[in-house]
Amino acid sequence: MKVTVLGSTGSIGTQALDVVRERGWTVGTLAAGRNLELLEAQVREFSPELVSVDASVYAEARARLAHPAVIADPAEAAMRPADVVVNGMSGLPGLSPTRAALEAGQAVALATKEAMVTAAELIWAAAQHGGGRLVPVDSEHTGVFQCLTGEALEDVAELILTASGGPFRNGPADLSSVTSAQALRHPSWNMGRKITIDSATLMNKGLEVMECASLYGLPLSKVGVVVHPQSVVHAAVRFRDGSLKAQLGPTDMRLPIAYAMDAAPTGMTRPGDVRGARRGPEVGDHLGWPLLGEWTFHTPDLNRFPALALAYRAGEAGGLLPAALNAADEVAVPAFLAGQIGFMDIPRVIEQVLDETPPGPLSWDSLAQTEAWATRRAQELVLRGVRA
Binding site for ligand DXP (CB under 6 A): 138-140, 163-164, 166, 189, 199, 204-205, 253
Kindly state whether residue 212 participates in binding ligand NDP, applying the rule CB under 6 A: no
Tell me the DSSP string of 183-238. HT--SS----HHHHHHHHHTHHHHHHHHHHHHHHT--GGGEEEEE-TT--EEEEEE
| Alpha carbons 330 and 6: distance in angstroms, whole number | 19
For ligand NDP, the closer of residues 195 and 327 by Cβ is 195
Buried/exposed 35-69: b ≥16 CB within 10 Å, e otherwise: bbeebbebbeebebebbbbbeebeeebeeebeebe
Minimum Å gap between C-beta 172 and ligand NDP is 26
Window of 112-120, 152-160, 313-321, 357-365 that interacts with ligand NDP by CB under 6 A: 112-120
For ligand NDP, the closer of residues 234 and 238 by Cβ is 234
Residue 266 phi/psi, 5° resolution?
-115, 30
Minimum Å gap between C-beta 142 and ligand NDP is 9
For ligand DXP, the closer of residues 161 and 381 by Cβ is 161
205 contact choice in ligand NDP, Mn ion, ligand DXP, none (CB below 5 to 8 Å, kind-dependent): ligand DXP
Kindly state whether residue 114 participates in binding ligand NDP, applying the rule CB under 6 A: yes
Minimum Å gap between C-beta 208 and Mn ion is 5
Minimum Å gap between C-beta 209 and ligand NDP is 13
Kindly state whether residue 138 participates in binding Mn ion, applying the rule CB under 5 A: yes
Distances (CA, A) of 381 to 126, 175, 346, 374, 377: 34, 20, 10, 10, 6
Residue count of the chain, please give it: 388
Q: Judge contact between 85 and 31, C-beta under 8 A.
A: no
32 contact choice in Mn ion, ligand DXP, ligand NDP, none (CB below 5 to 8 Å, kind-dependent): ligand NDP
Minimum Å gap between C-beta 144 and ligand DXP is 12
For ligand NDP, the closer of residues 54 and 380 by Cβ is 54
For ligand DXP, the closer of residues 106 and 139 by Cβ is 139
| Alpha carbons 14 and 32: distance in angstroms, whole number | 11
Window of 185-193, 264-272, 299-307, 356-364 that interacts with ligand NDP by CB under 6 A: 185-193
Q: What is the dihedral of CA 311, 313, 316, 320, to 10 degrees?
A: -80
Annotated binding residues for NADPH, as ranges? 9-12, 33-35, 114, 192
| Alpha carbons 112 and 86: distance in angstroms, whole number | 9
